[in-house]
């Protein structure tokens, strides 16, 4: 059967439209079925396109996952809004700056259920897709890590431990908000419950800094 010349020589606009449809379909399947059920067939069916286009534009399913991470992003990292990325001086204490960044990253994460799905599955799945996601996530983090390394205050022991522990706790609670939202009297799937979590994180992040660290 002869090839369709329109498919073979797609215009830039049609290719862009198809790529976006495949990325949207990836999100749809992930939210509906989870990472373990993700497949080429499921994605192309949701996108309404043929398999050859997925392979042509992304190489394979792993390539689609990596492209999603690059184009759609993951979350706002602590340090993303740090001094190196700011046009104007930040006039608050550094601990308040950390608190603002932790809260912003948590709000961004909760608003992106596909990222939460990836993160939750990464803890238990060992598929090539998990590896592709982890690689894409690390690539996404590099600019933020560079920003943090440019400001030594992020690496001070007292500041660093606050960032690590609170950031990890917020990621965990955001994942629970999707699958098991009742946690120690909090309803993580409600705006009120999540607001309580963010207020706690902000208060903890702004505890007095150690002197002479």
Residue 180's contacts (CB-CB under 8 Å, 6 or more residues apart) are: none
CA distance 137 to 135: 5
Neighbours of 199 (CB within 10 A): 11
Report the DSSP pairing between strands 186-187 and 182-183.
Answer: antiparallel
- pLDDT digit string (tens) for the chain, length 213 residues: 444 444 455 676 799 999 999 999 998 998 888 777 889 999 999 999 999 999 999 999 989 988 887 777 665 555 554 444 444 444 468 899 899 989 988 988 888 888 887 777 777 766 667 777 777 777 666 666 666 677 888 888 889 899 999 999 999 999 999 889 999 999 999 999 999 999 999 999 998 765 554
- Nearest by Cα to 175 from 118, 103, 98, 102: 118
CB-CB contact of 61 with 40 (8 Å): yes
CA distance 118 to 35: 7
The domains found in the chain, sorted by start residue, are: 5-72 (1.10.357.10), 83-205 (no CATH)
């Amino acid at each position: 059967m002869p090839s369709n010349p329109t498919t073979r020589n797609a215009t830039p606009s049609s290719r862009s439209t198809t790529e976006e449809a495949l990325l949207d379909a990836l999100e749809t399947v992930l939210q509906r079925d989870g990472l373990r059920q993700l497949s080429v067939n499921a994605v192309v069916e949701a996108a309404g396109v043929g398999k050859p286009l997925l392979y042509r534009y992304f190489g394979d399913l792993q390539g689609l996952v990596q492209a999603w991470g690059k184009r759609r992003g993951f979350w706002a990292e602590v340090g993303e809004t740090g001094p190196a990325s700011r046009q104007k001086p930040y006039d608050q204490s550094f601990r308040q700056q950390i608190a603002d960044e932790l809260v912003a990253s948590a709000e961004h994460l909760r608003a992106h259920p596909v990222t939460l799905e990836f993160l939750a599955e990464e803890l238990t799945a060992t598929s090539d897709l998990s590896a592709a996601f982890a690689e894409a996530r690390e690539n996404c983090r590099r600019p933020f890590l560079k920003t943090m390394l440019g400001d030594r205050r992020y690496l001070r022991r007292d500041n660093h431990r606050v960032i690590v522990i609170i950031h990890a706790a917020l990621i965990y609670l955001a994942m629970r908000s999707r699958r098991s939202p009742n946690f120690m009297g909090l309803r993580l799937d409600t705006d009120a419950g999540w607001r309580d979590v963010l207020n706690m994180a902000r208060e903890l992040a702004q505890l007095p800094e150690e002197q002479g660290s």
